[in-house]
Each structure stands twice: as structure tokens, then as C-alpha cells.
Amino acid sequence: MGKQTYASTPRYRIYPTAQQRQQIDITIDAARFIHNYFLSKILEQWQATGEYPEYRKLQAQLPALRKDYPWLQTATSSAMQAALLHLIRAFKFCDCRRVNGLFPGTPHFKSRNRYQQSYRNSNSYTNIIVTGNRVKLPKIPNIKICRAPSICGRIVAATVTREGADSYYISFCYVPDPRPLPATGRAVGVDLGIKTYAVTSDGDSMELYHPDKRQLARLQYLRDQLRRQTKGSNRWKKTSEKIWRLNRKLSNRRKDSIHKITSKLVRNYDIICIESLYHQSMMSQNEYRYRAVKYSSWGEFKRQIRYKSERYGRQLVSVSRFFASSQLCSVCGYKYPRAKRLTVRNWTCPVCGAHHDRDANAATNILHEGLRLVNQASAA
């Protein structure tokens, strides 16, 4: 049996009543308390022995902890178990990065003053039920949603998020039903970049959303205003919320443009070849490169193209990042060393005389290498 894949819905705005809002806030506080409480315990053992306890041993302490702190009994147990599980997974992720030669920091404590806070509920014995524009959660029935969510599969979990003081959202994790798209018989290579976000081997260029000068000026004005205000004051809190709202709007528009790009690729091509870039090494070169690569969200692009390919029956091929896609001539295969410099945007092959655009040539080479890997795998 193959590995089970999961999908997530977009965030939907929910409108809880005053009593439902109180229950959500208590559960958020409980999940944050469990995270901070067990993080301090784990760090003590980590510093003493260099190891951290297993999830089962920590989970067995939850019933006694709920007796010591009676207010935890009003929160759902699945939310506290999920908070503990995510904490253990964070430490395991740090171990994996440390084995690969990286030096990650340990998980940090969560503050109650964060603008965005959330908790997660797992679905067991129909704890989570969606009926039209209403959703039932553990201990919180009949919550109104802005519109009926489109979920084609079995719901696994739901995440409730609070932003600011009065904005609540919900998203669902589910096992999608297979929905293969009709075959197109086409393959494409995609080159990701900073100057042009995505260039295909067919010559199509797709741009990522960028905020205009007015929005950037507004954001800078709010940051300057926040810097002059007293931290923790009412004016400081109002300005912080304005900054968070504007950043959220820009982030949502950027994710929306990535969704449109990845959906277009999945609809039009059967085989999609991309390059497995190593973001960390590119971000560490200079400050400009760090900001540009971070804003490009290549990791989000790969995540979306991966789960959409699995859901709709497309084949995703990842080409090694050591493959010299920008330096090879896509016509004769000659390697042009000067093309390694990013300032060289166009060049002419000295062997065959073909004139190349840097990004389009790289996308064509990625397509050729991806098809070679597909044929090699099928032959084996």
C-alpha cells in the first residue's frame, strides 16, 4: 500500500458567538501552556543528558497535569495532545538538520502576545463534522463559516486560528479522493528565478505578485510610527495590528499568485520537471539575495506543485541542483562557463551559434534532463 497523502483547504473565516469565542480562546491558551510547560521539561533533560523523552512518556503526564490545573479540563484533550506532538516533532526535525551538518536552534517558547495563535484538533469518532456553512468541533458545535468549504475526501484534522483580537479562521486537513485530470501528452521544464519568477521550456514567463510603491510606503510609515511609540501601549498595539493586517494581505496575494502558477502547470502538462534548489546556501550569500529568495517562496511553490501533482495524477520530476542547467547549450550541449555568472542574461553558443535567453535555456535543459531521468527509471 502506498504512502497516504494529505491535503489542506484554504483558511475560511468563521464567526463564533461570544460563548464559542470564549471556548476557542481557552483552548488556544491551553495548547500554548502545554507547549511551554513541556518545552521547559524537555530542555532540562536535554541539557542534562543530551536526549529528550519520548512522546508516549510525556503524553502519560497529561491527565495528572489537568488535575493540577483544573482550567485545562475545559479545553479539548486532542488540542493539547497535538501541541505536545508538534513539540516532539520539532525536536526530531532539529536532530535531522543537525545530522545533515546544519546548526538549527531549539524550539522556542510561545508568547501570549503573538498576533496569530492557533490550535489543532484531530478528527476521531466524527469529532469534526461539516454541514453546509456550519462546522462542529469538539466542545464547540454549530460554528458559522463564511462559505461552505469544498472538501473531497475524509477530514483528518482542523486548525483554528485567531488573528488579532476578533478574527477567527479554520482550515481542514483531509485525505483527498483521487481526481486525475485528462492526459495532455505534454511535458514541461520550469526554471525558478528571482528576476523572472518562473520560465517554462515553452517560453511562457510567469510573474509573482509584488506590492506596489503605495503599499510599501504605507508599510514603512507604520513601522516608523511603531518605532516611536511606547511598546505595550494601546497605540502600539493598534499600530502593530495594522502592520499585521497589511502583511497578511500581501502574503495572501503572494500565495494566491503561486496557486495560480502551479494550477496552470498541473492542468496543462503531464510531466513537470523542476530543479531542486538549495535555498539556504543561496540566502546566505548577501542581504539582497536573502530578501529576494525569501520573498520568492520557492519552498511554497514546490509544496504546492508536489501535492497537486499527486492529487491530479501528474508526474513531478526533480532535477539535481548540481545539474548545470544555465551553462549548457540546449541545442548542442556545449558548456559555456561564463554563463555561470548571474549577470549574463543572454549568450550565444560558440559551437552551434544558437542565441539563448538564460532562463528559457535553463528550462529547456531541465526538461531534457527530467525526461532522461523518466526514461532511465522506466527502463530499469
Q: Is 275 a catalytic residue?
A: yes
Helices (H), 109-233: 213-228
Farthest CA pair distance, the chain? 78
Q: What are phi and psi of 364, to 5 degrees?
A: -65, -40
Separation in Å, CA 19 to CA 16, 22, 208, 297: 8, 5, 41, 38
Secondary structure of residue 240 in the 3-state scheme: helix
Q: Identify which of 116, 120, 90 has the alpha carbon closest to the alpha carbon of residue 27.
A: 120
Phi and psi based region of residue 153 (left: phi greater than 0; alpha: psi -120 to 50; beta: remaining): left
End-to-end CA distance of the chain: 21
Catalytic residue among 163, 275, 310, 369: 275
Separation in Å, CA 32 to CA 36, 82, 92, 111: 6, 11, 19, 8
Handedness of CA 177, 147, 211, 220 (dihedral sign): negative
User: What span, in angstroms and rounded, lies between the C-alpha atoms of 66 and 374?
Assistant: 54
Separation in Å, CA 285 to CA 10, 280, 292, 324, 325: 34, 9, 11, 19, 20
Separation in Å, CA 198 to CA 16, 262, 264, 379: 41, 10, 12, 31
Catalytic residue among 25, 68, 166, 191: 191
Q: Is 202 a catalytic residue?
A: no
Catalytic residue among 163, 310, 359, 369: 359
Q: Identify which of 306, 326, 328, 304 has the alpha carbon closest to the alpha carbon of residue 316.
A: 306
Q: Is 204 a catalytic residue?
A: no
Catalytic residues: 191, 275, 359
